[in-house]
Amino acid sequence: NNVELRFKTPQGKEVDTLIAHFDVLNPELKPGNVINPGTYIGTQGRTGSTTGAHISMDFFNPGSTSADAEVKKIKDHILYRIGKGLPVFG
C-alpha cells in the first residue's frame, strides 16, 4: 500500500513523494485530494522485507522518477526533522 503526494515547500518548490509500506490507508483519501498538515494518511505496516513496522519515503522532481540536488536537500531536511519528532517545515 502506498500514497503519492505532491507538496510545495514554504519557498514554493514542488516535490513529489512516494510513501510506501502502509498496513492501512485512510479510505477517505482519493486521487486529486488536497490534504492539510496533520491529515491521517495511514498506519505503518510490515510489507516488504522487514523485521518490523515501518514506512519508506522516496522524493522526486514533479512527474519524474529522479531527484535533483535541491530535492535531495529537501528530503534530507524532512527526514532529519521527522527523526527528531519536529514539524517538517517549522
For residue range 4-19, what is the model confidence (pLDDT) as tens digits? 999 999 999 999 999 9
Question: 3-class SS at 22?
Answer: strand
* Residues above pLDDT 90, as percent of the chain: 68
Handedness of CA 8, 75, 61, 44 (dihedral sign): negative
- Map grid coordinates 519557498 to a residue: 11
- Residue listed under C-alpha cell 486521487: 31
Q: How confident is the model at residue 50 (pLDDT cuts 50, 70, 90)?
A: confident
Nearest residue to 48 (alpha-carbon basis) of 20, 17, 26: 20
Structure confidence at residue 76 (pLDDT) = 96
pLDDT digits (tens, 9 = 90+) for 66-90: 999 999 999 999 999 989 999 888 7
Cβ(12)–Cβ(36) under 8 Å?
A: no
